[in-house]
Amino acid sequence: MTKKVLFVCLGNICRSPAAEGVFLHLIEQRQLTDQFLVDSAGTGGWHVGNPADQRMQAAARRRGIHLPSRARQLELGDLESFDHILAMDQDNLHNVNSMVKEFGPRSTANIRLMLSHARRADTLEVPDPYYGGDLGFERVLDLLEDACAGLIEDLLASGTKR
């Protein structure tokens, strides 16, 4: 059964498209692409239609990771169409959970912090690299590679849709 995974950050141009790209890269390496449907979104709509931030694209490209998505805003329907929604930080987790309250019982997604799946991270939040330097983008990718690998292990071990 296909597992539907959505990564969420604020503007959907740095962290969540990077998580989507890392996850796609890892499932392709493991020949698991047929087992997952993957997307990303932002809780804000400022960048809708834009590709990932150029600095994030460059950092990912250096690791052989492609970031294919265009920014979109999280929609109420995502709360029932995705099995797993992974927020990059507490603020975005709060925003997603606020939408859950609005959407009510139709919301069936398992909603967690992205780094709850990390094995080596010393934090629970993926920091926003937007206003920082190049090292911030590298740090985000390090965290996401760890968390995405853990997420894949956790989803495969669960053997269930949710």
According to DSSP, residue 51 is labeled B
Residue 14 annotated to the active site:
no
Predicted confidence band of residue 158 (pLDDT cuts 50, 70, 90): confident
Tell me how far apart the alpha carbons of residues 82 and 120 are, in angstroms, rounded to a whole number: 26
Q: Which of 9, 53, 83, 148 is catalytic?
A: 9
Residue 128 annotated to the active site:
yes
From start to end of 51-160, where are the E strands? 84-87, 110-113
Residue 159 has pLDDT above 80, yes or no: no
Residue type, 123: T
At 162 the pLDDT is 41
Residue 9 annotated to the active site:
yes
Q: Which of 53, 78, 128, 148 is catalytic?
A: 128
Arithmetic mean of pLDDT, 42-66: 97
Q: Which of 15, 72, 78, 148 is catalytic?
A: 15
3-state secondary structure at position 122: coil
Mean per-residue pLDDT of the chain: 95
Residue 67 has pLDDT above 50, yes or no: yes
